[in-house]
Structure 1
Amino acid sequence: MIDGQWKVVYPGTEYTFGTPDLPAFNRTTPDIGDVDLRVADVDRPRADGRAFGVDFRSGLTISFDLGIRARTEREARDEAALLATTWRADPVRLTPGAVAELHARYAGRERVVFGRPRRFAPNFSDVRVNGFVTVQADFACVDDLFYAPEDDSVQFGIVPPLGGGLLAPLASPLSTTLSSDRSQAIRVRSEMPVWPVVEIFGPVTTPVVTVVGAGGAGLTFEVRTSLLYDEKIVIDTRPWKRSALRNGGANVAGLVRGTRLGKASLAPGDYEVGLKGTDPTGTARVRLSWRPTYASL
């Protein structure tokens, strides 16, 4: 992408538009819009002024005034049909909770928002004479934030403690398998808090993932199950996901204890990521990923 370009991405589709060299271009600067606030203010009883409650911010709606210019009427209509198909976003809109990505690049940096294409209003009044179509289109975002185009991540394995043999005093049943643990330092570089994705790969029994920062801030996930060598659990705290899935399918949220997914964001700063569990092979591992998050484009 180059400065001024936008791109809609979802499974099976990637459509770039915005700059004058592309078939679909921005006629005006895209309107980022404002954010609706849901507030819980109340007037002070028998007094002047108001008492502030909790404020919640709605998602952005980004609006585009697009032009499609082609050499012939047929080419203009074909490009308008391609853009209309992109904006329908059938693989996304027919799946509850699914989102598309909208990328933008300005001043040499790329940002991403998540959401769904919505309004699409083409105007073909000038297509026959000049091969020109105008389109008014909206993209509804899940929130009012912007994200980096790629994840930051850390991945490491679980390492059994050195040594072996039986520990005294002995108790039945006897076992030579000890719990293992390992940790690694990370730094979250971001303007705003991030929502991590935790992937735990087997074989491991009752894995515990901790992310601990200054003052004890962070999160803890304990998964009360056993994973085989070819199994994994993905705990996704992102607001548009909020799920815990085994091998990408079975919902195992009921087996996860610890921090609530809605409270699992990480503020910018330094953390120690830990993995504990019982793994006789020493091959279990964890991957923690997150996207730097920004307040503006």
Structure 2
Amino acid sequence: MTAAWHKASRDAAGVVGAVLVALLLGFAVLGPLVAGNAPDAIDLARRLQPPSALHWMGTDELGRDLFSRLANGAWPSLMAALLVVGTTVTLGTLAGTLSALAGGWADAALMRVIDVLLAVPALVLAMALAAALGPSLVNALIALVIVRLPVFVRLARAQALLLRDRGFTEAARLAGAGRWHIMRHHLLPNLAGIMLVQGLMDIAAVILGAAALGFIGLGAQPPSPEWGGLVASGRHFMADAWWLGLFPGLALVLAAAGFNLLGDAVRDILDPRQERTP
């Protein structure tokens, strides 16, 4: 543990990622508490005001405080991403591992379904599913789960196939252990690290995916302060109110960068054979 912490502390990019994620969590928890204005309080007399001491990030077209809306949208956006990733990691790991152990026609059929899903661009498929289900945050999250699930199924299956023929699994099989025992005690513990890394890095993709669906009106609906919706609202006032699109867009970029850098650092810690590409 000490060696891993020492290695992590020397990884500048990993430290930056950890700091960004910590700041995001702090903003999500403390931001709504320090914001002096209600996120949905309309004040037309203060509409489209630039950043000031009273409104740190300015106001929108309805006079609502942008800092308050951005802060109140941080926690739902983060929790939505964690829910999607947690669901896809769990289901993907189980499905991929079971597929590798089962083999035969069941494995082949599942892989053909995965191939079809992976053949369609992720954002296009998410848009189609969200549009078919109807515009809402819940339906957008369901669409993202369906889109991201094949990545984890394929990854878990590939790793499980490698582990299935290792000496310790062969020994367990010869000792009379069944598939469930091998899966619980030999495959899943060895898959945990790589699935954790992939999950951390996938949080960034889910945050951006949810924001993209919100941007085109297929995600969270107004007056929800979801970050993608805030960027969409700001695009109409880019010439006169630059702050409306800048601050939500910057928040999305920093959140995605933080989770990507953190996931990359965790990967290097868990697998010392991998070197960070320059």
Would you call these one fold, judging by a TM-score over 0.5? Answer: no
Q: Which has the higher helix share?
A: 2
| Structure with more relative contact order (C-alpha pairs < 8 Å, separation 6 or more) | 2
Q: TM-score, normalised by structure 1?
A: 0.24
